[in-house]
Amino acid sequence: MADRGPQVAPVGMVQGLGREQEEGVVGAGRRILGDPEIPHPGVGKPEHAGQPFTRCGRVRVEDGPYRASNLAAMSERPFDVVIFGATGFVGRLVAEHLAAQDLGGLRIALAGRSAGKLARLQQALGVTWPVLIAESADQESIEVLARSARVVVSTVGPYGPRGLPLVLACAAAGTSYADLTGEALFVRQSIDQAHELAVSTGARIVHACGFDSVPSDLGVQVLADQVRRDGEGELAEATLLVVSIKGGVSGGTVDSMRVMVDDVRDDPSLARRLADPYLLSPNRSAEPDLGRQPDTFFVERLPDGTWVAPFVVAGFNTRIVRRSNALQGYAYGRELRYREVVRTGTSLLAPVTAGAVALATGAFALGMRTPVVRPLLDRVLPDPGEGPSEKTRRNGYFRLEIRSRSVTGAHHVATVAARGDYGYGATSVMLGQAALSLATDVLPDIAGVLTPATALNGALTDRLRRNGFTFDVRRRAG
């Protein structure tokens, strides 16, 4: 048989291991080994039992798992959505969310390094979605993985050292991509290396599709749209306040923080780049000079008496929102000043609480940068692959307010809220729905390295509302 190039094996329940199988029919739950042609997008599903398949090559049990480099190039992509990193903490939650949806025939696949773990995940989910074996360090497997799907969702972090090859592969293949990164330097690298390529192929590369930064990005978009509909023009300033929040911490998030701290320690010039409020701008020279826009401070009392403290992910979210504004031709406001803070209230204890939040945030950042303290923190912080318990995820929630003043002096407030642990329960819904939106919704005719607001627009907002999220805007007294 002529060489068909690299191929991927979809994996279902194990049957007939170690035997070469010639032309035959797909049996429900059969594992197809070797270098199979993929004859049907739903191969492995019970309803497709009896469909023909062709296979070639010899297989031995000791050959081990089949890699994404074994997927043949084909004219029609076999999958609509592939979850890469499906057996990781967040990847599993995303898979669970999609398994609970009415997918309407969408072809889903699970991807990762371990065939055994992926097969166990299949069984736990009660699905027969095909499995693809791929890993970030295997360039060939990543490229073929990108060519096999219309949408790739990646939960494999830290993204800085691992994520760019998949982004570039998706950009080259014209494949839509979504992830959960909160790493500003990685997004900047993605913009520099993948944006023009993605524009040329029509790929939508959408970073920050979790708590970092969907609530911020879509919240400001919904707010600006309502202010415009009310005839109050553009936004002059907007402040996001974290009103209430409850949830746990994942080892993957902690690992991403470690990588960013190490990068800045190795190259101090990166700290100056991270301090630039327009780090992610599509055209830095076109941005307005609004003076200092710091994300770090001690405590502050707002004009209405509310005490606020620094928000640990403000440095990332604010830059995503500013990129969204610039990509839309400054639709929110040419000179919009935007920031994010933690609200501690107006009581006598509020400034004390704000001070405690500020000190804790600063102490954690300092500890991560201090060689003597870092090992002590590593002992108590979760390892990669670990995360909050099911009970913690179920009982979590977040509620945010975005207060704005328009150029006409009108005041509005947007509320963004959801049940479920903000970093994992709610985040898995955000990323899962972003993937479904990229795969099925009518979206703006735009390509490149985008943001949730610019790529998915109102489609993702509507999806999240149907999944219990709140996005409301109302006028308020000045």
What is the chain's length? 478
Give every strand in the sheet of 176-179, ordered side by side.
Answer: 131-133, 108-112, 79-84, 149-154, 176-179, 204-206, 448-450
CA dihedral 179, 184, 186, 191 (to 10 degrees): 90
The domain segmentation of the chain, as residue ranges, is 24-206, 214-420+470-475
Task: Round to whole Å and give the CA distance between 37 and 26.
Answer: 12
Whether the CB-CB separation of 439 and 407 falls below 8 Å is answered with no
- The per-residue pLDDT for 32 is 25
Whether the CB-CB separation of 273 and 185 falls below 8 Å is answered with yes
What does pLDDT average to in each consecutive run of 10 residues of the chain (478 residues)?
A: 35 27 28 29 34 25 33 65 95 96 94 95 95 94 96 94 96 97 95 98 97 96 98 97 87 74 87 93 93 86 95 94 97 96 96 94 85 84 75 91 97 96 90 98 96 96 98 91
DSSP helix/strand/coil, 343: strand
- The per-residue pLDDT for 384 is 66
DSSP state for residue 31 in the 8-state scheme: P
- The per-residue pLDDT for 87 is 94
Residue 307 falls in which region: left (phi positive, over 0), alpha (psi -120 to 50) or beta? beta
Whether the CB-CB separation of 316 and 184 falls below 8 Å is answered with yes
Provide the whole-model pTM: 0.84
Specify the CATH number of the domain 24-206: 3.40.50.720
Confirm whether 24-206 and 214-420+470-475 share one CATH topology: no
Bond preceding residue 148 cis, omega within 30 of 0: no
CA–chain centroid gap for 319, Å, is 15
- The per-residue pLDDT for 29 is 29
Whether the CB-CB separation of 274 and 160 falls below 8 Å is answered with no
**Was domain 214-420+470-475 assigned CATH 2.40.128?**
no
Residue type, 101: Q
